[in-house]
């Protein structure tokens, strides 16, 4: 299938392959570390994908040998300067990381992350915030924050314990050691670890597969899996019933059942 390149800022490349919007973090000389400009473009690219009804899944990856080294520590917005008072780095979180993490969580389509190399700091937590994470064998995840005197951000404080439990979350966040992709998979931090030369194909295959599925049901599945963690059983059952009732009125449920009964492939279109 041909990949057409759409207009975009250089630091985040945007392309379309079938119903999949492909976003590539593109500052390989700095291991795709996030500058404020890049964070703004990434959020805009996610907004654009969310608003384009031709998009049924998003695939995010990185250019070069890394996925993303987290916040660019040389960005003038946060870089400490001699003889100047410390800068308020909370500003960066309020204006860039919080909206980015929330945008990811509220995407109306599933988001697959193909982690092609090291994912550190906010780069790791942005990846882990995606719906399905597939990583190359040579990739790794680093909660680099403690090494520079910070706490996990970009959703890390919320995600880590949920993904790997208290002991492993603390080990990752306190020590800031590199977790190889195969161990990340065996710990349940990510969905899959694949040979390096299969990453691009595997990421695209997952995204294409999700793009052909009933999008609304996938997005509500994401929602209930997160929300149910905070609920007691009875409230979770009630939320299941409410969402199931809504989905039951949608085209895709009617189509799924009819296709099953007709012994044909379903054609889903809700978003």
Q: Which residues bind ligand T3D (CB under 6 A)?
A: 30-31, 33, 69-74, 78, 89, 92, 118, 120-122, 142, 144-145, 148, 150, 153
Q: Tell me how far, at minimum, the Cβ of 15 lies from ligand T3D, in Å.
A: 25
Measured from the CB atom, the residue of 24 and 71 that comes closer to ligand T3D is 71
Q: For residue 117, give the DSSP letter.
A: S
CB 24, CB 13: distance < 8 Å: yes
Helices and strands (H, E) in the chain, number of each type: 10, 11
Q: Which tokens belong to 175?
A: 């020590």
Terminal Cα distance for the chain, rounded: 23
Closest distance of CB 170 from ligand T3D, Å: 18
Residue 183 Cα to chain centre, angstroms: 19
- Output the furthest CA–CA distance in the chain (Å, rounded): 74
Comparison of 7 and 149: residue with beta carbon closer to ligand T3D? 149
Residue 149 neighbours by CB under 8 Å, 6+ apart? none
Measured from the CB atom, the residue of 20 and 144 that comes closer to ligand T3D is 144
Min. distance of Cβ 176 from ligand T3D in angstroms? Answer: 8
143-175 burial, b for 16+ CB within 10 Å, e for fewer? bbbeeeeeebbbbbeebbeebbeeebbebbbee
Residues in the chain: 271
Q: Write out the catalytic residue numbers.
A: 95, 153
Closer CB to ligand T3D, 145 or 253, in the complex: 145
Residue 128 CB, nearest distance to ligand T3D (Å)?
Answer: 13
CB of residue 44 to ligand T3D, shortest distance in Å: 20
How many angstroms separate the CA atoms of 73 and 70, rounded? 8
The residue among 62 and 70 lying less far from ligand T3D, judged by its C-beta, is 70
């Amino acid at each position: 299938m041909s990949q057409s390149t759409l207009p975009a800022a250089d630091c985040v490349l945007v392309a379309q392959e079938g119903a999949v919007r492909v976003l590539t973090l593109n500052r390989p000389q700095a291991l795709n570390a996030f500058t404020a400009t890049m964070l703004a473009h990434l959020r805009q690219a996610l907004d654009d994908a969310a608003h384009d009804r031709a998009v049924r899944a998003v695939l995010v990856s990185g250019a070069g040998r890394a996925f993303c080294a987290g916040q660019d520590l040389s960005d003038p917005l946060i870089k400490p300067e001699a003889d100047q008072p410390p800068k308020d780095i909370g500003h960066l979180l309020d204006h860039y990381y919080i909206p980015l993490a929330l945008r990811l969580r509220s995407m109306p389509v599933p988001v697959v992350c193909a982690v092609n190399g090291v994912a550190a700091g906010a780069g790791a937590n942005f990846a882990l915030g995606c719906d399905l994470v597939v990583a190359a064998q040579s990739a790794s995840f680093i909660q680099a924050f403690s090494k520079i005197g910070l706490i996990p951000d970009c959703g890390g404080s919320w995600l880590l314990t949920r993904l790997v439990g208290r002991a492993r979350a603390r080990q990752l966040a306190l020590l800031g050691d590199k977790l190889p992709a195969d161990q990340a998979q065996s710990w349940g931090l990510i969905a899959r670890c694949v040979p390096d030369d299969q990453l691009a194909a595997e990421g695209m295959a997952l995204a294409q597969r999700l793009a052909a599925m009933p999008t609304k049901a996938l997005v509500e599945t994401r929602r209930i899996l997160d929300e149910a963690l905070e609920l007691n059983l009875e409230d979770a059952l009630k939320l299941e019933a409410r969402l199931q009732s809504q989905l039951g009125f949608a085209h895709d449920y009617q189509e799924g059942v009819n296709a099953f009964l007709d012994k044909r492939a379903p054609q889903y279109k809700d978003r």
